[in-house]
Structure formats: structure tokens, C-alpha cells
Amino acid sequence: MMTVQSVAPIARPLRWWARGLAGGALTALPVVLIGLAVLLAAPGWVQHLTTMALINLMIVVGLQVYSGNSGIVHLGHSAFVGLGAYGMAILTTPLAMKKLSIPNAPFGLSAVELHWFPGGLLALGVVWVIAWTTARVIARLSGIAATIVSLAFLIVVHSVFLHWPALFKGNQAFFGIPKLVGLPGVLLAAVVVILIARLFRDSPGGLQLRASAQDQMAADSIAIDSRALRRRAWILSALICGLAGVLFAVVSGTISPRLFYFQQVMLTLAMLILGGMGSVSGAVAGAVILSVVLELIRTVESGITIGGYTTPTLLGLSGVALGAVIVLCMALRPQGLLGHQEADDFLSRWLRTAPTRKR
């Protein structure tokens, strides 16, 4: 009986931040290895593709911070990517270029040219203000209602980009942004973002938010303030997506509104669904796997020659593949490849059962 039984002292698990940092590092490790390999050995165009893929990875991780912990599908995260990118473009593009692109910008912005660091911080500041404001509204909602509002937010921001040409150049490309960052900078940012997302997930607030996503009533009964936590997750998610946008602008040098719309939303959402919303490792795995697969499909798309026979061009094949990934995942493994498990959860379970396996 339990009352008389003497129980061996319980091995205390690591503090949450120690486990979070270690686990986050383990998750980031393959990304770092791939990034370094590409940096050292791959041709320039592969480096560029990898850089853009890492920016997508950051967006997926940002999306995971909100969706993975709150259990609410978020369709508006690309709006924050766009806001970060346009903020950076407007603040750091050289004045000579601005005379051509946005000569009539309001608030005297056509005469502003900031260094990349204050420019980036200010762009993130704008993202923070908009995230803080929208968080008041969105955190009141849960489930499908929150998803619809996030979608509405995406459409609103996109419309503003399109119909405020004095500031955003409408549907034309905003060019001439200084290309300041390459693969090393983006790789570093991706690692930092992975660690932050993992620390948030494992933090007391992250744990409470995950609990409230699984059972709202039970969470209420243990005094969890799920609204405040949803606000926090929304803002952190927006800042990570905004940072990805800032980097996008200074990596590619040219941006346009359609880059931050449905196509990007669906791509990053498919990555997250494939890997598993419940964990940062899932977000990273989904982003890496789908980036590679889509790149392979794109080469097939434009026609390849095998033994003298050239396959026909199959434009749109990658779009079909993306849809197929979402459908197959939902049907076969709705929780994604990794489900709620982090890479270190798999590792520690393997270590725990290893002695038994040897026998």
C-alpha cells in the first residue's frame, strides 16, 4: 500500500531553462550542420536557396510559438513577416533609391535612411506595437474564431500594402534595399530563434498555455490566465516572424506584397503541420524536409533530361505537392511527424530504455 511503502527519492528533472537550452541546442544542431556544410562547400545559388529556406524556417518556428502552444491555427503570421520586411525596406533603403521608389512617402520617411541596426530595431518596434494591439483582440478568442480573425488580419495588412502606394509602392516591387546579410547572419538568427521558441515552450507560461490548449476548464480550475498567455505567445510569435521579415528584406533586396500572402502562409503552415505543431523540433524538421523536397520538385517541374528523354515541364507541381502534404498528413498522422515530442524527449526515452534493449 502506498501509505506504508517507502519510496525511493525522486530524481529531480533539470530546471526548465536548462532543459530548454539543451533541447533547443539539440534541435538547432542539424540546422547548424547543414548551414555550415552549405556555407563551406556549396555554390552561390545553393547558398542563396539555403538562406531563403532558413528564413522560412524562422517563420515556421514563429508560427509554432503561437499555434503550437495555444493550439490555435494562425493564418496571419505572414502579415508580421511583411510588416518587418517593409519596415526594414522603408527605414534603410538609401535616399537615392527612395527618390525613385517612394518620393512622396508620408511622415518624412522619404528623407530617412537609417543604419541597419537601429533600422531593424525600429522595424521590430513597429511589429511589436501592431502585435500588442492585435493581441488584445485575438487573445479573447479561442479555436476557429481566433483563426478567422488572424486570417482577416492577414487580408487587412495585405490590402494596406497594396493600396498605400506612397509608402509601400502598391503591387510593384520595392527595390534597392541594401543587401546586408548572407547565410552566416541568417543561420545565427535561426539558431537564436529556435532557442527562444524552445525556452518559451518550456517556460512556466508556455507550460500553462499548452495545458490550457488541451483542456480549458481544467486550466481555469488551476488559476491559469489563458488570455494573458495567448497574448504573450501572439506577440512573441509576431516578433519572430517580424525578424524573419527584416532579414528577408536585407537578404533579397527586393520585396513585394504578394510574397507575404497566401502562398507563404500555406507553405509555412504545411511545414509546421508536416513536422508537428506541438514541438519546436517538429517545426524545424517540417521546414527542413519540405524545403528540400520542394526544391527537388522544382527541378522536376522545369523538365529534366534522363537518358536523352526530357520530361515535359510541369508548372505548378510544387503547389500540388504542398496540398498533397497537408492532406496526407491530416489523414495519416494528424499530429505531424514528431507530434508533441521534442528531439531531446526521443533521446532521453531512448537512453532510458537502452539498458533493457542490450539484454
Positions touching another protein (CB under 8 A) are: 1-3, 5, 7-8, 10, 12-13, 204, 207-208, 210-211, 214-215, 217-218, 220-225, 278, 340, 352
- Shortest distance, CB of residue 300 to another protein, whole angstroms? 38
The C-alpha cell that represents 283 in the structure block: 517545426
Which is nearer to another protein, 13 or 308 (by Cβ)? 13
Say whether 305 sits in a helix, a strand or coil. Answer: strand
- Shortest distance, CB of residue 218 to another protein, whole angstroms? 4
- Shortest distance, CB of residue 64 to another protein, whole angstroms? 15
Angle at CA of residue 336, ends 19 and 33, nearest 5°: 55
Which is nearer to another protein, 222 or 306 (by Cβ)? 222
Which is nearer to another protein, 52 or 211 (by Cβ)? 211
- Shortest distance, CB of residue 276 to another protein, whole angstroms? 11
C-alpha 48/C-alpha 253 separation (Å) is 12
- Shortest distance, CB of residue 273 to another protein, whole angstroms? 16
Between strands 309-310 and 305-306, the pairing is antiparallel
Give yes or no for a contact between 69 and 200, defined as CB atoms under 8 angstroms apart: yes
C-alpha 109/C-alpha 128 separation (Å) is 19
The C-alpha cell that represents 22 in the structure block: 539543451
In sequence order, the β-bridge partners of residue 306 are: 309
Tell me which residue of 255, 257, 277 sits closest to 342, measured CA to CA.
277
The dihedral through the CA atoms of 314, 285, 233, 197 has a sign that is negative
Which is nearer to another protein, 5 or 310 (by Cβ)? 5
Which is nearer to another protein, 181 or 233 (by Cβ)? 233
- Shortest distance, CB of residue 214 to another protein, whole angstroms? 5
- Shortest distance, CB of residue 290 to another protein, whole angstroms? 24
- Shortest distance, CB of residue 7 to another protein, whole angstroms? 5
- DSSP for 112-150 reads ----HHHHHHHHHHHHHHHHHHHHHHHTT--HHHHHHHH
Which is nearer to another protein, 223 or 331 (by Cβ)? 223
Tell me which residue of 229, 259, 230 sits closest to 83, measured CA to CA.
259
Which is nearer to another protein, 10 or 332 (by Cβ)? 10
Q: Give the distance from CA 51 to its chain's centroid.
A: 14
Residue located via cell numbers 520595392 = 174
The dihedral through the CA atoms of 71, 72, 74, 77 has a sign that is negative
C-alpha 139/C-alpha 121 separation (Å) is 25
Which is nearer to another protein, 7 or 41 (by Cβ)? 7
